[in-house]
């Protein structure tokens, strides 16, 4: 397929996402099924155009004065892939599958300037969420929002139970894998440009052997910030598929005990296979709240990696940025309060409650932590920055709030957005 056919494919997928408000991964999969002649390079190029378009949908539409899928797809090539209008016209000439050049939109793009656009358009975020970004990041909010519209790297975590980071990097040499900047076991594969494809690392034999996991560096950093000691008893109360459970198990070198629980059994199920592959021996998995009874008032650390809007992961899931509603935010807020209140019962006196989200919205972050300590006077917030500075001396620093909670972002730590806060239970 030449560029024209790929562009046409991306336009079809973008139209499908718009018309049926469906997740991007589903729309791309369906397109692939109904276009079996397209090779894997074509599919990934089309995927890149679609994801890039969704990341910067508002600013593309504003600059092109056109929000059609055609305008968005062309804007990707011109604004994100570095093609000039002339080079693009040359590439498409004589390609019978190429869509027509949107002449009016191209003319608009050549005269309009992003600095003249409304602020939320410059930041490529929904207007209703702008006040939350301003509250979170002050004058830096547009830069923070723009960084959430960039392509993310592919991050891996070397599993120190099986292989040290150097050994994993050597095994993945062809992928261009490098040590990541902050997390101690982190490995980074740069995002690549244009139509370039990220390697399918989960097809590697070394992955099957458990040498590494795919995990954003931000998720690795917050796992390290939990700062477990070898013999600790930890409850991972929202364990999901086990990303943080696995990281903690490796940090604890298979010592102590981690109890992994999730209210949703389906989400928890993949953890069994992952634990086996990773060689963990210090994790017990629970899928019924009754199974946690014996842990009440008994855990050194309880982790609440709470359900959230996922605004910190917009680079990877840009379609969710446009689907997020005030109502779904409200739902998440109430789930977070429930999870925190239920989880807290398992913290021993003198123990620690850790609250994490992959969101950057203050309502889900600082406000929840503060509301929790206000309602639970036996808990108090503890600054997390000193731990960060001890663990990652000299590394780029995240945002640190008044009460000492941390917010990692693509613009500060080069990771997904994550919120991390620690509350200690007073010793009785």
Q: Is position 340 an interface residue for ligand SAM (rule: CB under 6 A)?
A: no
Compute the least distance from the CB of residue 273 to ligand SAM, in Å. 14
For tokens 């779904």, what's the residue? Answer: 328
Site track 67-106 with ligand SAM (rule: CB under 6 A), x = hit: ----------------------------------------
Q: Which is nearer to ligand SAM, 73 or 239 (CB)?
A: 239
Question: Is 378 known as a binding-site position?
Answer: no
Compute the least distance from the CB of residue 243 to ligand SAM, in Å. 3
Site track 168-207 with ligand SAM (rule: CB under 6 A), x = hit: ----------------------------------------
Identify the residue among 38, 263, 371, 395 touching ligand SAM (CB under 6 A): 263
Tell me whether strands 379-382 and 418-425 are parallel, antiparallel or unpaired: antiparallel
Compute the least distance from the CB of residue 215 to ligand SAM, in Å. 8
Q: Which is nearer to ligand SAM, 111 or 334 (CB)?
A: 334
Q: How far is CA 372 from CA 121, 333, 376, 425, in A?
A: 34, 12, 6, 12
State both tokens at 68: 């059609």
Q: How far is CA 139 from CA 131, 187, 326, in A?
A: 12, 32, 23
Residues with Cβ within 8 Å of 407's Cβ and at least 6 positions away in sequence, in order, are: 136, 360, 365, 398, 399, 401, 417, 418, 419, 420
Q: Which is nearer to ligand SAM, 262 or 319 (CB)?
A: 262
Q: For ligand SAM, which residue has the nearest CB? A: 243
Q: What sign does the dihedral 287-289-293-297 (CA atoms) show?
A: positive
Q: Which is nearer to ligand SAM, 201 or 238 (CB)?
A: 238
Site track 278-297 with ligand SAM (rule: CB under 6 A), x = hit: --------------------
Q: How many Å apart are CA 155 and CA 188, to the nearest integer?
A: 5
Compute the least distance from the CB of residue 304 to ligand SAM, in Å. 8
Q: Is position 307 an interface residue for ligand SAM (rule: CB under 6 A)?
A: yes
358 catalytic per annotation: yes
Question: Is 236 known as a binding-site position?
Answer: no
Q: Is position 305 an interface residue for ligand SAM (rule: CB under 6 A)?
A: yes
Q: Of 112-120, 170-178, 179-187, 259-267, which segment contacts ligand SAM by CB under 6 A?
A: 259-267
CB burial of residue 103 (10 Å; 0-12, 13-18, 19+): exposed
Q: Is position 338 an interface residue for ligand SAM (rule: CB under 6 A)?
A: yes
Site track 39-68 with ligand SAM (rule: CB under 6 A), x = hit: ------------------------------
Phi and psi, residue 136, nearest 5°: -75, -40
Compute the least distance from the CB of residue 54 to ligand SAM, in Å. 21
Q: Which of 121, 44, 114 is nearest to 79 (CA)?
A: 114
Q: What sign does the dihedral 242-243-244-246 (CA atoms) show?
A: positive
Q: Which is nearer to ligand SAM, 165 or 244 (CB)?
A: 244
Compute the least distance from the CB of residue 380 to ligand SAM, in Å. 23
Compute the least distance from the CB of residue 339 to ligand SAM, in Å. 4
Indicate the DSSP class of residue 258.
Answer: E
Q: What is the dihedral of CA 278, 280, 285, 291, to 10 degrees?
A: -170
Q: Which of 73, 78, 81, 96 is nearest to 17 (CA)?
A: 73
Identify the residue among 160, 167, 184, 267 touching ligand SAM (CB under 6 A): 267
Q: Is position 239 an interface residue for ligand SAM (rule: CB under 6 A)?
A: yes
Q: Which is nearer to ligand SAM, 96 or 327 (CB)?
A: 327
Q: Which is nearer to ligand SAM, 195 or 371 (CB)?
A: 371
Q: Of 60-68, 84-92, 104-112, 238-246, which segment contacts ligand SAM by CB under 6 A?
A: 238-246
Q: How many Å apart are CA 421 and CA 403, to the nearest integer?
A: 9
Q: Is position 339 an interface residue for ligand SAM (rule: CB under 6 A)?
A: yes
For tokens 């019978």, what's the residue? Answer: 96
Contact (Cβ atoms closer than 8 angstroms) between residue 46 and residue 31:
yes
State both tokens at 88: 């693009």
Compute the least distance from the CB of residue 236 to ligand SAM, in Å. 7
Residue 398, classed as helix, strand or coil, is coil
Contact (Cβ atoms closer than 8 angstroms) between residue 157 and residue 213:
yes
Tell me whether strands 257-261 and 347-357 are parallel, antiparallel or unpaired: unpaired
Contact (Cβ atoms closer than 8 angstroms) between residue 125 and residue 145:
yes
* Residues at the contact surface with ligand SAM, assessed by CB under 6 A: 219, 237-244, 262-264, 267, 305, 307, 335, 338-339, 342
Residues tagged active-site: 358
């Amino acid at each position: 397929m030449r560029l024209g056919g790929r562009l046409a494919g991306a336009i079809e997928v973008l139209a499908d996402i718009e018309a049926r408000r469906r997740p991007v991964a589903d729309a791309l999969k369906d397109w692939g099924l109904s276009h079996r002649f397209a090779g894997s390079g074509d599919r990934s190029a089309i995927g890149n155009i679609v994801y890039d378009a969704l990341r910067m949908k508002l600013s593309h539409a504003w600059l092109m004065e056109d929000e059609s899928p055609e305008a968005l797809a062309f804007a990707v090539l011109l604004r994100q892939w570095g093609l000039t209008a002339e080079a693009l016209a040359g590439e498409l000439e004589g390609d019978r599958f190429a869509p027509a050049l949107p002449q009016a939109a191209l003319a608009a793009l050549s005269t309009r300037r992003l600095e003249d656009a409304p602020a939320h358009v410059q930041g490529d975020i929904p207007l209703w969420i702008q006040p939350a970004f301003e509250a979170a990041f002050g004058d830096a909010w547009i830069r923070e929002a723009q960084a959430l519209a960039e392509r993310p790297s592919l991050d891996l975590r070397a599993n120190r139970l099986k292989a040290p980071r150097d050994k994993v990097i050597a095994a993945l040499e062809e992928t261009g894998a490098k040590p990541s900047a902050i997390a101690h076991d982190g490995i980074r594969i740069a995002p690549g440009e244009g139509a370039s494809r990220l390697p399918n690392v989960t097809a590697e034999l070394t992955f099957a052997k458990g040498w590494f996991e795919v995990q954003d560096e931000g998720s690795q950093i917050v796992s390290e910030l939990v700062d477990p000691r070898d013999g600790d008893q930890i409850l991972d109360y929202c364990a999901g598929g086990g990303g943080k459970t696995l990281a903690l198990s490796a940090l604890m070198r298979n010592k102590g005990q981690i109890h992994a629980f999730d209210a949703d059994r389906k989400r928890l199920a993949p953890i069994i296979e992952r634990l086996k592959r990773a060689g963990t021996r210090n994790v017990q998995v629970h899928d019924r709240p009754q199974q946690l009874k014996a842990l009440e008032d008994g855990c050194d650390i309880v982790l609440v990696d709470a359900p959230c809007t996922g605004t910190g992961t917009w680079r990877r899931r840009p379609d969710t940025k446009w689907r997020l509603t005030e109502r779904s935010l409200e739902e998440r807020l109430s789930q977070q309060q429930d999870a925190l209140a239920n989880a807290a019962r398992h913290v021993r006196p003198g123990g620690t409650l850790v609250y994490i989200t992959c969101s950057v919205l203050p309502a889900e972050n600082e406000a929840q932590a503060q509301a929790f300590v206000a309602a639970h006077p036996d808990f108090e917030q503890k600054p997390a920055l000193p731990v960060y500075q001890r663990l990652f001396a000299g590394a780029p620093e995240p945002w640190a709030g008044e009460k000492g909670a941390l917010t990692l972002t693509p613009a500060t730590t080069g990771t997904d957005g994550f919120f991390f806060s620690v509350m200690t239970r007073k010793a009785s």
